[in-house]
């Protein structure tokens, strides 16, 4: 349902630009419109005797307090240990670009999307994929579907880009990153691959195509399924 004006706008210099924040806002609007029209077919609601109201949220903070409220101590300690660079030892938060879930209970989660537009650093891709690992982990947030959506992505495959980044030493990690020294100096780095039996997806749109009716042609999306074997190699743990 998206149109070319949802992807691009002309800046004051008349250059066609795909802005990440503007695109994500338009994406949220289109998701909401689609879901409202197709609720029964999508089976997005629980049984009538246990209704759940799902909402789309943009840049929604899932704080450490929110994690602690829904996990037992073992589950919370496990999340802190496995995703220390995201949760920052209980002082951090996890912010998905776009999510569809029950905001009253972060264990009722349906869809999470991380968005990047244009060229971005391999570390930024890795960081988003790590968040997708956390979101889709059945013992953490248990999102049913996770997508890394890269619009106007460079030619290099994001998996190769991340592998190249982790193989370099010292690591090119932004200095304000939590656990900067650990990431930069450690020979191994936590894998962005999901747990065994779980998948999430990379959707690349290198050249958006629009039909005669003006709507985006989804056939131009390149889909890559990420599973537990996608980031095998000596650099990951």
pLDDT tens-digit readout, 119-158: 888 989 999 999 999 989 988 888 899 999 999 888 888 9
Classify residue 218 by its DSSP letter: G
pTM for this entry:
0.83
Domain ranges of the chain: 102-226
The average pLDDT across 61-66 equals: 64
In the prediction, which pLDDT does 47 show?
46
Burial 112-127 (b: 16+ CB within 10 A, else e): bbbbbbeebebbebbb
User: Tokens representing 11?
Assistant: 């800046």
**CB within 8 Å of 56: residues ≥ 6 apart:** 28, 31, 32, 35, 98, 99, 100
Separation of CA 204 from chain center: 13
Spatial distance between the Cα atoms of 190 and 77, rounded to a whole number of angstroms: 17
Residue for token digits 């039909």? 211
pLDDT at 93 over 50: yes
* 3-state SS, residue 190: coil
pLDDT at 188 over 90: no
In the prediction, which pLDDT does 61 show?
63
Mean pLDDT over each residue of the chain, to the nearest integer: 80
Quick one: pLDDT band at residue 2, thresholds 50, 70, 90? Answer: confident
Quick one: pLDDT band at residue 92, thresholds 50, 70, 90? Answer: low
Give kind and range of the element (H or E) at residue 195: none
Is 114 within 8 Å of 203 (Cβ atoms)? Answer: no
């Amino acid at each position: 349902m998206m149109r070319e004006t949802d992807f691009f706008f002309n800046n004051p210099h008349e250059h066609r630009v795909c802005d990440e924040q503007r695109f994500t806002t338009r994406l949220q609007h289109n998701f909401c419109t689609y879901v409202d029209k197709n609720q029964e077919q999508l089976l997005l609601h629980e049984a009538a005797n246990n209704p759940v109201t799902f909402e789309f949220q943009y840049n929604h903070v899932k704080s450490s307090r929110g994690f602690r409220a829904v996990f037992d101590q073992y589950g919370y300690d496990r999340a802190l240990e496995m995703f220390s660079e995201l949760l920052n030892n209980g002082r951090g938060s996890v912010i998905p670009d776009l999510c569809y879930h029950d905001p009253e209970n972060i264990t009722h989660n349906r869809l999470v999307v991380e968005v990047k537009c244009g060229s971005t650093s391999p570390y930024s891709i890795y960081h988003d994929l790590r968040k997708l690992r956390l979101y889709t982990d059945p013992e953490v947030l248990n999102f049913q579907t996770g997508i890394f959506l890269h619009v106007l992505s460079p030619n290099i495959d994001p998996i190769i880009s991340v592998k190249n980044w982790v193989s370099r030493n010292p690591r090119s990690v932004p200095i304000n990153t939590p656990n900067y020294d650990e990431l930069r100096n450690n020979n191994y780095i936590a894998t962005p691959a999901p747990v065994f039996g779980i998948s999430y997806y990379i959707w690349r749109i290198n050249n958006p195509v629009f039909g005669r009716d003006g709507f985006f042609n989804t056939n131009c999306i390149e889909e890559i399924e990420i599973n537990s074997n996608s980031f095998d190699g000596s650099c990951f743990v």
